[in-house]
Structure 1
């Protein structure tokens, strides 16, 4: 039971991380100091996309699922398991990434304009 809770918690935190990656720049409009945290999150997202390195939360969830006797995450990882083919078709992965990038850039432009 405890391993299942760890797996579920890792999944929820992972989704929250992805939501913050996409929308955290808007949070910085109100709380300016959070821009540094958001820049770090976006940096990690870029590193993950460019290098193919999985997020540590993926490893935690996969480990906990296996310890709970459940099927682990596929080798392709968290996003492929929960988002691709579920939220958007797999063929539109690059479109989804571009959409997130546009949202992040828009939030940064707004952040800069609001600071002036």
Structure 2
């Protein structure tokens, strides 16, 4: 029972991580220091998407599911949990790369905006 709960917690953490990777840059607009956490996470997410790798959280979840006597699944987390919501046909390599490009583009846009805003604020300051 505890193993099944652990697997479910990993799923929630995994989904939260994916949302943070995709949209966490928006938090950086308000709280700049979050960039120190978000940038490595976003880089990891993009590398996973471009490399076609499986996130280490997926095998960990599978391990706990097997310990709980629950059948695992083939493929990765996104393919099993997220893709059926978006693309019922399943995750293809092209879609995985597209997600990586979208994540990269959104974050580049957000970080460019943050840098432009910081530059504008820096130029408007006076020395006292």
Q: Which has the larger radius of gyration?
A: 2
* 1:109 match: secondary structure: helix
Partner of 2:122: none
How many residues are aligned here? 115
Q: CA deviation at 1:113?
A: 1.9
CA contact (8 A) 2:22 2:107 kept: yes
Instruction: Calculate the aligned-residue CA RMSD, in Å.
Output: 1.9
Q: CA deviation at 1:95?
A: 3.8
Length-normalised TM-score, structure 2: 0.78
CA–CA distance in structure 2, aligned partners of residues 114 and 88 of structure 1: 37
Partner of 2:66: 66
**How do residues 39-78 of structure 1 correspond to structure 2 at under 5 angstroms?**
39-74=39-74, 76-78=75-77
Q: CA deviation at 1:50?
A: 3.5
Length-normalised TM-score, structure 1: 0.85
